[in-house]
A and B are shown apart, each in its own frame.
Chain A
Amino acid sequence: MTGMSAKTTGHDAPAGDLRLVNLTKRFGIFTAVDDLGLTIPQGSFFALLGASGCGKTTTLRMIAGLEQPTSGQVLLGDRDIARLRPYKRPVNTVFQSYALFPHLDIFDNVAFGLRRRGIRSVDAEVNRMLALVQLADFGHRRPAQLSGGQQQRVALARALINRPQVLLLDEPLGALDLKLRRQMQIELKRIQTEVGITFVHVTHDQEEAMTMADTVAVMNAGRIEQLGAPADIYEYPATAFVANFLGQSNLLAAEAAGPAGSDVPVTAHGARYSVPAGRARVASGPVYLGVRPEKLHLVDAADRVPAGHQYVTGVVTDASYVGVSTQYLVRTGWGSELTAFAANSGLGGRVPVGASVVAHWDPRHAFLLPRPPGADDATAGLLDEPVGASS
């Protein structure tokens, strides 16, 4: 409640970290955002990932002031802005639905925020912004006369031009083709580092999240499942949901019986494996033994498995060539299908379908995750959704 005493005029407020404290939003009995707690450091690039309907847009709307939280605080610096009207917040949004003003041309759309703040000479800034999103010649068109991707770029320019303290981006690049999207990603990242705006970026594109963000949060059913640097999350996911939402994982149902020395031994499908204690989220009871597909290597016989590696045997049931790599499905003795990616580096030949193989991994790349009792292997085996693919 410190914000109540501070004069809340918005734009000259002290900058600071964006903090969400116990933020909850209920629609009737449905909880869209559940007791969310987050700190987004000032000037950082924060990516929010999660399945459709998990509450990402609702979270952004509460930060922007378009939705009243059921409970909790939105702090900017040490000021609680949760009850501040949207137009008084130093926050701008790139809307998922663009929400361009149909009665204004592109120039006036982009100039809208500056003009509402009483800035008279906007021409230079608007033209610079339009050039940035490669729409320099489109200033006099109406939104309805632009393609979806062009409209999206106008929405971006319209928010960015205000240089807010916090920019909220709700899937801002979803409608762009790959090349333009890469270009815009680079531009966004450049602007973000140059101006020091805090970006909160919602995306379905995990590669986009990982390449652009300092911090990634994976959301599920209104809660943050895991938050951290992209590499940390990818290499050592916290839950089975994260392990299969950010990239893919082979998760074998296993039982652990507590740590033994620096390792945690587990039993999976009758065989014994172990994982370093530092890579075990749980050390006893039902667990998942997880290995990323690219950390799973295929050889033709057990005696070629490097020392210290662990393995399972199986039969190749499918091989898909996707350019940079070949993706194999390996059916194990107990019927689950593991996924393995082999880089097409020219070393080692391709393994034919039907061949018996030994899939091995370095235990330092494996991880242990909690498993609901009774749950079986969670091996996605989704070759049609390769890791890092743009959605």
Chain B
Amino acid sequence: MTALAHVPTSTGQPAPPPPPPRGGRHRLLPYLLLLPGAAWLLLFFAVPLFQLAAASLYDPAGSLSTGYALTWAFGNYPDAVQAYWPQLGRSFLYAGIALVLGLLMGYPLAYAIAQKAGRWKNLLLVCVVAPMFTSFLVRTLAWKTILSDNGWLVGLLRDVHLLGPDGRLLATPVAVVLGLTYNFLPFLVLPLYASLERLDYRLLEAAGDLYASPVQTFRRVTLPLSMPGLIAGTLLFFIPATGDYINAELLGTPNEYMIGNVIDSAFLVRLDYPQGAALSFLLMAAILAVVFVYLRRAGTEEVL
């Protein structure tokens, strides 16, 4: 019996063939390909992040000249909130209002380019992207000119009495919100365009055939099918807008400063590293929380 067991027979099940030998190099290849990216991330994201986390817990009494000691000073966080909660709240408020304005302009724009523009499609897309060919700073400075007290826009608004005789736009919250809206609009429009462009107009016809009015068709078909682009676009708009400090700096006054301005000055002017680091982490945590809640509500499996 035992002898037989070793003899392969024609009726018995042959042992499964051994797996083909695979060189170690084959299995290593994916990791080798990952290596440059991973190294980059480690060096320029993970390490500085840890550094920043450590800095946020330094002894606030220290300074650049006397040196910092890691004293696990968790008190930095409540102190920072205490001192700068108006700026933190303003960041979300301004970015939120700008997002609403951006959506009101960007959705119809993306829809028109994707579904109605025909052969003008590419030209219009270039128009959306064209401002990005100049630097962020230059564009915002241009807005400063447009909104300035003796510019044509303010003159026009004063003439039609939308602004008082010495009303102004520059150095107001309106200017900051408008600047944010303008600067981040392309990031909203492009992903939206991408998903609206894939939308099959025959589905809209089918909805109309099935008694859906244009409004219902939008709500039940167009909007859900453009959700991936809408989510990507709002995130690409909202996250950098919340952390932005250039618009508030150039178009506003210290009364319009957002959290970005505070962080900027903590690191570069006041040289208060622990506070700057603590505020940075607070901002990151707050944005993550908002995004998480948003994705949960928007509820697409593809994103989460």
Which residues of A are in contact with B by a Cβ distance under 8 Å?
64-66, 85-87, 91-93, 95, 97, 99-103, 112-113, 116-117, 158-159, 162
Contacts and interface: CB of A to CB of B under 8 A. Distances in A.
Nearest to A112: B210
Residue with the greatest number of chain A CB neighbours at <10 A, chosen from B200, B202, B210: B210
B15 to A, nearest CB: 39
A116 B216 contact: yes
A199 B129 CA distance: 50
A99 B205 contact: yes
Contacts of A91: 209
Interface string B190-218: 00000000001011011111111100100
B203 A116 contact: no
Nearest to B212: A116
Contacts, number: 59
A8 to B, nearest CB: 14
Contacts of A103: 221, 224-225
A117 B225 contact: no
Nearest to B210: A113
B302 to A, nearest CB: 11
B17 to A, nearest CB: 36
Contact of A87 (B208, B224, B225): B208
A100 B200 CA distance: 11
Given A95-B205, A117-B211, 8 more contacts: A66-B209, A86-B205, A87-B211, A87-B213, A101-B221, A113-B210, A116-B207, A116-B216
A85 B208 contact: yes
Nearest to A116: B211
A99 B203 CA distance: 5
Nearest to B217: A87
B221 A92 contact: no
A92 B224 contact: no
Interface in B240-263: none
Interface of B: 200, 202-203, 205-213, 216, 220-221, 224-225
Contacts of A97: 202
28 contacts: A66-B205, A66-B208, A66-B209, A85-B208, A86-B205, A86-B209, A87-B212, A87-B213, A92-B210, A95-B202, A95-B205, A95-B206, A97-B202, A99-B202, A99-B206, A101-B207, A102-B203, A103-B221, A103-B224, A112-B210, A112-B212, A112-B220, A113-B210, A116-B212, A116-B213, A158-B210, A159-B209, A162-B211
A331 to B, nearest CB: 49
Contacts of B209: 64-66, 86-87, 91-93, 159
Contacts of B216: 116
A112 B224 contact: no
B200 A99 contact: yes
A117 B207 CA distance: 12
B1 to A, nearest CB: 51
A99 to B, nearest CB: 4
A162 B210 CA distance: 8
A100 B203 CA distance: 7
A86 B202 contact: no
A8 B257 CA distance: 57
